[in-house]
Amino acid sequence: MTTWPRHWPALMVLLLALAAALPLLAPTASRADGTARHVEWPTQWDGRALRPLAMSEVEQRFAARFPGAIARFSDGEHVIVLRRVEQPTRMLHPAADCFRGLGYRIERAGLERDAQQRLWRCFDAVSADGRRLRVRERIEAPDGASFIDPSSWFWAAALGQSAGPWQAITVVEAL
Q: Any idea what the Cα angle at residue 170 is, between residues 165 and 175, rounded to 5°?
A: 170
Percent of the chain with pLDDT over 90: 71
Domain ranges of the chain: 41-174
* Mean of pLDDT over the chain: 83
Predicted pLDDT at 62 = 87
The string of pLDDT tens digits covering residues 48-105 is 999 999 998 888 888 899 999 999 999 999 999 999 999 999 999 899 999 999 999 9
Identify the H or E element spanning 14: helix 4-25
Q: Give the mean model confidence (pLDDT) for residues 141-167.
A: 95
Report field, pTM of the whole predicted structure over 0.75: yes
Q: Give the mean model confidence (pLDDT) for residues 114-131.
A: 96
Alpha-carbon span 4 to 158, nearest angstrom? 29
3-state secondary structure of 13: helix
The string of pLDDT tens digits covering residues 38-64 is 789 999 999 999 999 999 888 888 889
